[in-house]
Structure 1
Amino acid sequence: MFQSCLICTDFTDGLDRLVNFVPELAKGGLKKIIFLHSLPVWEQERLTGVDETQIAQARERLSGALQKVPEGVEVKIEVLCGRPTDTILRVLNHEKLDVIIAGTPIRSALEEKFFGSTSMELTKQTASPLMILRPQLISTYTVEELSLRCQHLWRYLLIPYSDSEAGQYLISQIKKYAQNRPANSLQKCMLLSIIEDKGRENIITTHRLEQAHQKLEALKEELEQLELEVNIEVKQGNILREIIHTAVEFDISAIAVAKNPRSPIIDWAVPSVVNEVLHGVWFPLLFFSPHK
């Protein structure tokens, strides 16, 4: 699906393990891979300066990425000083990259307000797609499991769809990146529409289920024109629970989501389905932000 990526690691998120899987990442279609580690220049409200020893040590930890690089694949290592969000944006300003890969722990929305998240901050600062891989997941894969995962990061996408501005943007981005996708990349999509249980009369619920099915059938035809295998599911129930159940049932590689930017106050007071997915799902997430 993507041909170039920026892999950001703080050495506690498990993503530094990916330096040993460059050939497998290349099999999934990546032709350009940059590994980035950010070193802080502030500590306890004081300027600490640049530590050349730390830079050298970080580069050494990432140096495995430069071994066994397949022909036609470009690999770079960047160790920069500054806030992770700032250093990531600096790289993006100098390199043309399709997707950012980062890790973030599962936290409640309230915890995130207090502790922050580089991944969530990135969604406000750039329109580049963001692939979120949970540290708890990546760290527990065996070498064999991680090898397979790296080859199939985007093979089968689950797309929870709502006929909203964000939902339409999500479909447009999937179509955009599917048009010139590398071989062995995106192969299948699962379009999922969920009608929530809210005590509606049966006749109203039935009508909404029929409408959702018709909409997904139309989207299926559009995506199939890009030589994708497309499946559709219309379900009734709790949205988050049905997303997780569908991802497990159909052997999904990643869940693709998008949302419009909202003020922090609105996000806190009126949680969205995307927020629930970001804060409560273990699956890899492919996040699109339409704000730029």
Structure 2
Amino acid sequence: MFHRILICTDLTDGLQRLVRFVPQLAQGGIQQITFLHSVPIAADPGMPKPDAAKIERAQAQLAPALEHNLTGIDVQVEVESGKPIEVMLRAVKKHQSDVILMGTQSRNLLTEKLFGSTTVELAQRSPIPILAIRPQLISAMTSEELSLRCQHLFRELLVPYDDSDASKHTIAEIAKRANASPACMICRVLESGHYELSAAEEQQILTETLEPAKAQLQAAGLQAEIELRKGNALTQILQAAQENDISAIALSSNLSDHAFGAIPSFAAELLRQSMHPILLFPAP
């Protein structure tokens, strides 16, 4: 699905372990891997300057990624000084990456408002999709489990679908990257006010919204299934991810600032609460 991945790690999020799994990432279709770490500018009474000692330690920790000597895959390690967001965006442009892999901590609305979120800010500014993974997920895996995960980062996607422009955009983005043939489950949740729909009305929703999305993916050569659920949208999507072999939940959102106000968006809440990886496509 993606070929040029930028793996951004703070060296405590578990993603630094992936330097040992370059062959498995290659088996999953990745052709270019860039491991990136940003080091804060060292505090200095005079002119601020890069922290040479931290840069050297980070380079040594990521260096095993360069030892695999595989044909047909380009592996690079970059350690730069500066603000993480700016360092990431420069790296995306430099390497022409087509997806960013990064860790994201569980946060509530209050901590985000007080301290901010690197994932949220990057999602607002990134020109390419982001795959956000919980550090707890990566850290808890054995090497055997992580080997399989690296081969199947995008194997089966769950797409929350409400027939909005954003959900249609997600389907279109997946369809145009169909070369790796992921499987997709398209799930629509009917919330309160729609519980009393008749069987005919539910079938109409399936026919008019989910079936066209499924057909679009199938026309691109992808396997696709559809499901209609009832209840709270966030709860049902998280439950659908648990009950099926889902690699990541895929959706589109600009995660604009208002999404982190008094009434947070669905995408923002999903990013906070899901233990499954979240594949965020930039909003159209």
Matched residue, 2:60: 60
CA distance in 2, matches of 1:261, 1:18: 28
CA distance in 1, matches of 2:36, 2:195: 53
Question: By how many angstroms is 1:208 displaced?
Answer: 5.7
| Counterpart residue type for residue 93 of structure 1 | K
Question: By how many angstroms is 1:126 displaced?
Answer: 1.6
2:272 to 275, 279, 291: 279
CA offsets, 1:131-160, max 9 Å, x none?
001001111100000000000000000001
1:194 to 186, 189, 197: 189
Matched residue, 1:106: 106
Q: Secondary structure at the match of 2:140?
A: coil
Does residue 219 (structure 1) correspond to residue 213 (structure 2)? The answer is yes
CA distance in 1, matches of 2:111, 2:204: 38
CA distance in 2, matches of 1:70, 1:235: 45
Q: Secondary structure at the match of 2:177?
A: helix
Contact 2:120 2:255 survives alignment (8 Å): no
Question: By how many angstroms is 1:46 displaced?
Answer: 8.8
CA distance in 2, matches of 1:9, 1:289: 21
Q: Secondary structure at the match of 2:87?
A: helix
CA offsets, 1:14-49, max 9 Å, x none?
100000000000000000000000000155999642
Q: Secondary structure at the match of 1:38?
A: strand
Cα separation, partners in 2 of 1:43 and 1:195, compared to 1, 3 Å: farther
Matched residue, 1:127: 127
Equivalence map 1:1-292=2 (5 Å):
1-41=1-41, 43=43, 48-178=48-178, 181=179, 185-198=180-193, 202-203=196-197, 209-214=202-207, 215-262=209-256, 264-265=257-258, 267-290=260-283
Runs of 4+ in 1 over 4 A off after TM superposition: 42-48, 205-208
CA distance in 1, matches of 2:96, 2:281: 17
Q: Larger deviation: 133-142 or 114-123? A: 114-123
Cα separation, partners in 2 of 1:48 and 1:289, compared to 1, 3 Å: same
CA distance in 2, matches of 1:102, 1:78: 15
| Counterpart residue type for residue 226 of structure 2 | I
Gaps of 5+ in 2: none
Contact 1:7 1:101 survives alignment (8 Å): yes
Contact 1:259 1:288 survives alignment (8 Å): yes
CA distance in 2, matches of 1:208, 1:177: 33
Contact 2:185 2:225 survives alignment (8 Å): yes
> What is the percentage of aligned positions where both structures have the same residue?
42
Q: Secondary structure at the match of 1:271?
A: coil
CA distance in 2, matches of 1:18, 1:246: 28
Contact 2:43 2:49 survives alignment (8 Å): no
Cα separation, partners in 2 of 1:201 and 1:85, compared to 1, 3 Å: closer
Contact 1:24 1:151 survives alignment (8 Å): yes
| Counterpart residue type for residue 248 of structure 2 | A
Contact 1:193 1:212 survives alignment (8 Å): no
Question: By how many angstroms is 1:50 displaced?
Answer: 1.2
Gaps of 5+ in 1: none
Q: Larger deviation: 7-16 or 103-112? A: 103-112
Contact 1:166 1:260 survives alignment (8 Å): no
Q: Secondary structure at the match of 2:185?
A: strand
Contact 2:8 2:36 survives alignment (8 Å): yes
Q: Larger deviation: 211-220 or 35-44? A: 35-44
CA distance in 2, matches of 1:52, 1:266: 39
